[in-house]
Amino acid sequence: MATTLGFLGGTGIEGRGLALRFAQAGAPVIIGSRSQTRAATTAQQYNDILGKPIVRGMSNKEMLAASQIVFLTVPADQATSAIDSCLADFQPGLILVDVTVPVRLVEGRVEYLELPEGSNAEAVAARVPEHVSVVGAFKTIPAHILAQLDTPLQCDVFVCGDSQEARERVMDAARLIPALRPLDAGPLRTARTLERMTVLAIHLNRRYKKKGARYNIVGL
């Protein structure tokens, strides 16, 4: 049976492109939201874009019960509160994929927000029950490039986490998306690197007046 992919906070820009890419590739996708109505409306919008009814909308609680891999796609500063509100609904064996990057504005410039835990992925891992595996992935791919379904990604997605099995399962899911190469980036603390790489990409976009800077590893 195909792995069902849920989106916790799936109605915002952060989750939009990723949900669409997975659904376009044929994966079962469920949009979760605090509001079941809002989730259903968003799912309908996504299905209209895709031209087929394959995305479902549910309350976060229902989505968490029905999904094996859940992407945390809220703004970074809402990540911990989103998790806290769902703690009782995390099933044993759930893989929670943190795609968020904490940033702050310093004199009009986006800077990485250094957290006591070392990275947002590690901060998330510190808050979830032990029976949930946290993986950091899709952090370095711009949300709006993901949402441009006719733009081939042609880049790598770095997948980190302390459970090798969880990393493998997220990489297997990522392989569904064309022109995207998943790379095993090792333990969760690699998120310290990946989150900073996103901020570097934002700087490069600004410096070179582009929007889609993303990473490809040469030599692998």
What minimum distance in Å lies between the beta carbon of 218 and its own copies?
A: 5
CB-CB contact of 188 with 123 (8 Å) = no
Q: What is the token pair recorded at 59?
A: 């309350």
Nearer to its own copies, 55 or 194 (CB): 194
CB of 193 to its own copies, least distance (A): 4
Kindly tell me which of 48 and 165 has the beta carbon lying closer to its own copies.
165
- Tell the smallest beta-carbon distance from residue 87 to its own copies (Å): 31
Based on CB atoms, which residue is closest to its own copies, 107 or 130?
107
Contacts of 32 (CB under 8 A, 6+ apart): 6, 7, 8, 9, 10, 39, 57, 58, 59, 60, 62, 63, 64, 67, 70
Minimum distance of its own copies from residue 119's CB (angstroms): 11
Return residues touching its own copies (CB under 8 A).
112, 142, 145, 154-155, 158, 183-186, 190, 192-194, 196-197, 199-201, 203-205, 207-208, 210-220
The Cα 143–Cα 104 span in angstroms is: 18
Cα 151 to Cα 133: distance, rounded to the nearest angstrom:
31
